[in-house]
A = this chain, B = another copy of it.
Amino acid sequence: MSTASESNGTLPRHYLKPCLLLLLAEGPSHGYELLEQVRRMGIKGAEPGGLYRYLRAMEKEEMVSSWWEPSQAGPARRTYVLTEQGRKGLNESVQSLREVREILVSLLDRYDSLQPKAASASRP
């Protein structure tokens, strides 16, 4: 257990799947590119191993489908698209994400209304 720093500066990898669904809702893509996109989105700790695993898992669940596509520069890529079901899945996970956001907001509000002493780190 690493205390307080287990999600330092990054979205927990926990949100990888919703992120992937969102990115694929914006258009078809392939693993390597998705990796860079999720990193740019804030999941800095995302790494290829887990990402490819998630993609294959989501395919097994029929949230996405894929095929090989030759690249004009470099090795062939597996291109992923969102399925009808994946879009439903995205809608659903967005709903839970909204709840998470609300809870997070109220938790942070609660922190902010602690005695000033405790808030020393955020108020100079």
Contact = CB atoms under 8 A, between A and B. Distances in A.
Contact of A101 (B17, B99, B108): B108
A10 to B, nearest CB: 8
A73 interface: no
A96 interface: yes
User: Assembly of this chain: how many copies?
Assistant: 2
Nearest to A114: B25
Nearest to A121: B91
Interface string A98-113: 1111011111101100
Contacts of A1: 57, 61
Contact of A9 (B17, B25, B96): B96
B104 A97 contact: yes
The A interface, classified by DSSP as helix, strand, loop or mixed, is: helix
A91 B4 CA distance: 9
A120 interface: yes
20 contacts: A4-B17, A4-B90, A5-B92, A11-B103, A14-B14, A15-B103, A15-B104, A18-B107, A19-B107, A22-B110, A26-B110, A42-B103, A94-B121, A94-B122, A95-B121, A95-B122, A97-B104, A100-B104, A101-B104, A104-B104
